[in-house]
């Protein structure tokens, strides 16, 4: 699934780049990250910093339909305040994240006088979430759509805002490594979330962007699993992810 989606996204990029000039950039980002799960007291909150590096390609066209690709890898260790899996006892620890995201955007600007352009896109986000204190880990795969508007790209300030919606969500919780006898997949529910960014073109080569991004997942359907002969209903609670960060791009 992951390799197929990456191939489709990269294929769309190569097809577009074959037909037009383009602008490339590489970037580095830092962000404040927060993950919550809506479960019984004491609840679960993860909070801390993450960092990443990435690349962006934008078709060099002022009006009409044009394309953009963004890809980045990210990682970080954040503070964990939650509870133990089996006992429910309060637990303070850390959670490690590592992931990769690829997106293809279709942009449309009606004419050279238009102050805004429309954005529609699709992306694939894959991350690993691991808990060093217990040895547990999770793998998340999310295919999402993005839609919004941006101000004209030739302005020194560029502002964008819109919404994201997960089209496909899969969670592999590696339950057998946590002591269960089976490892059924979990399918967190899909909910709309928001994003926004404000970019400042410092010079021809450099651009600084402040951004907000998010996910919203409703509770997954419960699945049955056993551990040492005892049956459990396992599910992913309603979860939220929020990221506020800064990204610095260098353009070629």
Asked if 103 and 121 touch (Cβ cutoff 8 Å), the reply is yes
Give the model confidence (pLDDT) of 48-94 as tens digits. Answer: 999 999 999 999 887 999 999 999 999 999 999 987 766 667 889 99
Residue 145 φ/ψ region, left for φ over 0, alpha for ψ in the -120 to 50 degree band, beta for the rest: beta
Quick check: 117 and 143 in contact, CB under 8 A? no
pLDDT tens by residue, 129-156: 999 988 899 999 999 999 999 998 777 8
Among 217, 198, 220, smallest CA distance to 207 is for: 198
Contact of 124 with 28, CB cutoff 8 Å: no
Per-residue pLDDT tens over the stretch 198-245 = 999 999 999 999 999 999 999 999 999 999 889 999 999 999 999 999
Q: Which helix (H) or strand (E) holds 4?
A: helix 2-17
Q: What is the pLDDT of residues 25-36, one digit of tens each?
A: 999 999 999 999
Residue keyed to tokens 């790209």: 153
- Which range of residues forms the domain containing residue 75? 2-251
DSSP string, 33-92: EEEEE--STT-EEEEEEEEEEEEEEEE--SSEEEEEEEEEEEEEEEEEEEE-TTT--EEE
We report the CATH number of the domain holding residue 200 as 2.40.128.100
6-22 per-position pLDDT tens digit: 544 554 444 444 445 68
Half-sphere exposure of 172 (CA within 13 A, CB side): 7
**How many C-alpha atoms does 65 have within 13 Å on its Cβ side?**
6
How many folded domains does the chain comprise?
A: 1
* Rounded distance between C-alpha atoms, residue 216 and residue 37, angstroms: 10
């Amino acid at each position: 699934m992951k390799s197929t989606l990456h191939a489709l996204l990269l294929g769309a990029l190569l097809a577009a780049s074959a037909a037009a000039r383009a602008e490339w950039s590489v970037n580095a980002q830092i962000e404040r990250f927060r993950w919550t799960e809506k479960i019984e007291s004491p609840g679960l909150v993860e909070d801390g910093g993450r960092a990443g590096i990435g690349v962006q390609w934008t078709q060099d066209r002022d009006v009409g339909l044009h394309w953009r690709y963004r890809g980045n890898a990210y990682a970080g260790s954040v503070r964990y305040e939650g509870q133990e899996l089996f006992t429910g006892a309060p637990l303070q620890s850390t959670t490690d994240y590592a992931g990769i995201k690829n997106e293809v955007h279709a942009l449309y600007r009606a004419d050279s006088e238009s102050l805004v352009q429309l954005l529609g896109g699709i992306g694939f986000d894959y991350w690993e979430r691991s808990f060093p204190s217990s040895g547990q880990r999770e793998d998340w795969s999310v295919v999402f759509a993005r839609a919004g508007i941006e101000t004209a790209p030739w302005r020194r300030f560029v502002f964008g805002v819109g919404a994201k919606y997960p089209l496909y969500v899969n969670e592999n919780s590696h339950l057998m490594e946590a002591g269960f006898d089976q490892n059924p997949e979990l399918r967190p529910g899909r909910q709309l979330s928001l994003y926004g960014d404000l970019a400042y073109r410092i010079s021809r080569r450099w651009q600084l962007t402040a951004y907000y991004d998010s996910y919203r997942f409703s509770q997954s359907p419960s699945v049955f699993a056993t551990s040492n002969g005892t049956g459990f209903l396992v599910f992913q609670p309603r979860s939220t992810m929020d990221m506020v960060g800064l990204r610095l791009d260098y353009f070629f």
